[in-house]
Chain A
Amino acid sequence: QSVLTQPPSVSGAPGQRVTISCTGSSSNTGAGYDVHWYQQLPGRAPKLLIYGNGNRPSGVPDRFSGSKSGTSASLAITGLQAEDEADYYCQSYDNSLSGSIFGGGTKLTVL
């Protein structure tokens, strides 16, 4: 059971918009710690997608956006493409565990 809760799967057709939620608690996201998002393509290492709740590293398309409010964060992907099919993980810090935490991951299927 992950400390950050994500839906196990989401899906969407090409061109559509999907969102992935990430819900924490008062010891992590609710305590003001930032949320970051990673994309893991099949058979590959994870890659930083969004940092600091809503910032994109250089090279990440602006189809990807992140937001955070209270104990929850979300990742939005617009103009869905086949190559977006991957696992997505949120990550934050937990002050009661004194360490970094990840969500359980969400598998995105492009229909």
Chain B
Amino acid sequence: EVQLVESGGDLVHPGRSLRLSCTASGFTFNYYALSWVRQAPGKGLEWVGLIRSKAYGGASEYAASVKGRFSISRDDSESIAYLQMNSLKPEDTAVYYCTRVGGSYYNYWGQGTLVTVSP
């Protein structure tokens, strides 16, 4: 059974950093791209970024709203993906979901982890 478990969400002050983890199981981790999607309280879904598998170069891409502040990495030996978030802003407050990419869609989602950015 495919499982994605996010962790690391917390309450942080603006300007600080936070790293989220996504621990995967139930599939061959290194075969797949992974993506992060977030949802602000009471709002819709927003794509944050993606990291490709090493077979496809391992490159990452980001939404304009987080480019230069967020970075995604992966440890295929541990089946973990990370979202490093720097220079956090109040508008980054959201539930962050880790997803497995299937083609151009997200076929498996974690339960999410809440990040709150507040003074």
29 contacts between A and B (CB under 8 A): A33-B104, A34-B103, A36-B105, A38-B45, A45-B110, A45-B111, A45-B112, A46-B37, A46-B45, A46-B109, A48-B105, A48-B108, A48-B109, A51-B102, A51-B103, A51-B107, A89-B45, A91-B105, A91-B106, A92-B104, A93-B104, A97-B63, A99-B62, A99-B63, A100-B50, A102-B44, A102-B46, A102-B47, A105-B45
> Besides A92-B104, A97-B63, A99-B64, 18 other CB < 8 A contacts?
A36-B105, A38-B106, A45-B109, A45-B111, A46-B97, A46-B106, A48-B105, A48-B108, A51-B107, A52-B105, A89-B44, A91-B105, A91-B106, A98-B61, A99-B47, A99-B61, A100-B35, A102-B47
Which of B37, B47, B61, B104 interacts with A34 by CB under 8 Å? B104
Q: Do A102 and B45 touch (CB < 8 A)?
A: yes
Q: How many residues does chain B have at the interface if contact means C-beta atoms less than 8 Å apart? A: 23
Specify which chain A residues have a CB less than 8 angstroms from the CB of B35 in the assembled complex: 100
Q: Do B106 and A48 touch (CB < 8 A)?
A: yes
Residues of A in contact with B (beta carbons under 8 Å apart): 2, 33-34, 36, 38, 45-48, 51-52, 57, 89, 91-93, 97-105
Which of chain B's residues has its CB closest to A4's CB?
B44
Specify which chain A residues have a CB less than 8 angstroms from the CB of B45 in the assembled complex: 38, 46, 89, 91, 102, 105
Main SS class of interface, A: strand
Q: Do B44 and A51 touch (CB < 8 A)?
A: no
- Nearest 3 pairs between A and B by C-beta? A36-B105, A100-B47, A105-B44
Main SS class of interface, B: strand
Bound-complex Cα distance A48 to B47 (A):
15
Bound-complex Cα distance A51 to B108 (A):
12
Give residues 50-80 of B contacting A (CB, 8 Å). 50, 61-64
Q: Do B44 and A2 touch (CB < 8 A)?
A: yes
Bound-complex Cα distance A46 to B108 (A):
9
